[in-house]
Chains A and B, each alone.
Chain A
Amino acid sequence: NAGVTQTPKFRVLKTGQSMTLLCAQDMNHEYMYWYRQDPGMGLRLIHYSVGEGTTAKGEVPDGYNVSRLKKQNFLLGLESAAPSQTSVYFCASSYPPTGPEAFFGQGTRLTVV
């Protein structure tokens, strides 16, 4: 059981570069989420999706875009990276057919220099 897999695990970007983070889940979940976690802080919701082809903004969406073309994949894009986007990014998925809890990926540590 792979669960939720994030690619890549680490990345260093230069200011202004673009990149895409991939989240893949094999649990047939409808809901998927992208969060960022800054040192000593909680998880802040960037964007989320409640089904294939749908996306919605979370608490801190600026500077990010997302796509959910396939049910199992949720992509997070940074079009022009900024140092303020240095963070650990977590993807999660939930509901149904497993229980109510969200399953998390292992995180992606992104540094923008």
Chain B
Amino acid sequence: AQKITQTQPGMFVQEKEAVTLDCTYDTSDQSYGLFWYKQPSSGEMIFLIYQGSYDEQNATEGRYSLNFQKARKSANLVISASQLGDSAMYFCAALIQGAQKLVFGQGTRLTINP
């Protein structure tokens, strides 16, 4: 069964610093997609970034980048120049093509301090 692990329950970072949120995944499939979502205190799920298992380049979207290390099965989210509005829960997720289901990690609560 697929499993997504986020080992950091909470992170505290000073504003304007970069932050890395860890995510590891466990699958024997060769074809899969990795996602990061943000959930602010208002509760909605906001898509941030996607990485396909066959993509050779690490994905980037504005201040977000995904540090994809396929051999280590890790897909860490890097947020550069953090802002107060980045304070939220962050979830890593994987879509395994064979199983066709989207599963999530436990989440990391990120707090940006002024």
Asked whether any CB of chain B lies closer than 8 Å to the CB of A31, the reply is yes
Query: In the bound complex, what is the Cα–Cα distance between A59 and B103 (angstroms)?
Result: 9
Question: Could you show 22 A-B contacts with beta carbons less than 8 Å apart?
Answer: A31-B102, A33-B101, A33-B102, A35-B104, A42-B6, A42-B105, A43-B91, A43-B104, A45-B104, A50-B100, A58-B101, A92-B102, A100-B50, A100-B52, A100-B95, A101-B35, A102-B35, A102-B93, A102-B95, A102-B102, A106-B43, A106-B44
Chain B residues with CB under 8 A of A103: 47
Which residue of B has the minimal Cβ distance to A54?
B100
Query: In the bound complex, what is the Cα–Cα distance between A99 and B33 (angstroms)?
Result: 11
Interface hub of B33, B44, B91, B104 (most chain A Cβ within 10 A): B104
Tell me the count of chain A residues lying within 8 A, CB to CB, of chain B.
25
Known: A48-B101, A88-B43, A106-B44. A100 touches B33 (CB 8 A): yes
Given contacts A31-B102, A88-B43, A99-B50, 7 further A-B contacts (CB under 8 A): A42-B6, A42-B105, A94-B102, A100-B35, A102-B47, A102-B93, A107-B44
Query: In the bound complex, what is the Cα–Cα distance between A44 and B45 (angstroms)?
Result: 14
Determine if B50 and A42 form an interchain contact, defined as CB atoms under 8 angstroms apart. Answer: no
Which residue of A has the minimal Cβ distance to B103?
A45
Asked whether any CB of chain A lies closer than 8 Å to the CB of B83, the reply is no
Q: What 0/1 readout, one digit per residue, does chain B (25-40) give for beta carbons within 8 Å of chain A? A: 0000000010100000
Query: In the bound complex, what is the Cα–Cα distance between A45 and B102 (angstroms)?
Result: 8
> Of residues 90 to 108 in B, which have CB atoms within 8 Å of A's CB atoms?
91, 93, 95, 100-107
Which residue of A has the minimal Cβ distance to B34?
A100
Known: A31-B100, A50-B100. A42 touches B106 (CB 8 A): yes
Chain B residues with CB under 8 A of A92: 45, 102
> Of residues 25 to 42 in A, which have CB atoms within 8 Å of B's CB atoms?
31, 33, 35, 41-42
Chain A residues with CB under 8 A of B33: 100
Q: What 0/1 readout, one digit per residue, does chain B (71-114) give for beta carbons within 8 Å of chain A? A: 00000000000000000000101010000111111110000000
Asked whether any CB of chain B lies closer than 8 Å to the CB of A69, the reply is no
